[in-house]
Structure 1
Amino acid sequence: TLLTAVYIALFAHLGYFIATFLYAFSMTLAFATGRPSPQALGFKALVAGVITLLGYGLFELVFQVRLPTPWI
């Protein structure tokens, strides 16, 4: 719940890509057991990036909802 509250608070300030990537990556770490290896961290970062891009495609292209980005 705390991670979601932080995500909501930072969403408008950091933009969709940064906030969502950090949120997805943090959630994978929060639900991991033990200390992840460097390879596991890289894979979690890759998964967070894919989640971020798929979410962007869903909202921007399918739902046609403008998401906040730092460059606009």
Structure 2
Amino acid sequence: MKREPEMTTPLDPIVSEFATVEEAEAYDKWFREKVRRSMADTRPRIAHDEVMAEAEAIITEAEKRHKSRSA
């Protein structure tokens, strides 16, 4: 069976980060689904400050390991 070439509608790169309308629509569909799943998530929320403190601790530990290897 012979496949027809996919039709695409180009977008102006100054106006859009996507090359075609189809790419923009696919991204929009993906993004909306990601947001929908996130909003439906019932897991407990984690405070921003708590997440940032954990990230800072990970970075600090990595910096300590890096410095000990360099010394």
- Measured against the shorter chain, the TM-score band is 0.3 to 0.5
**Larger Rg over CA atoms:** 2
Higher relative contact order (CA 8 A, sep 6+): 1
TM-score, L = length of structure 1: 0.33
- Higher helix proportion: 1
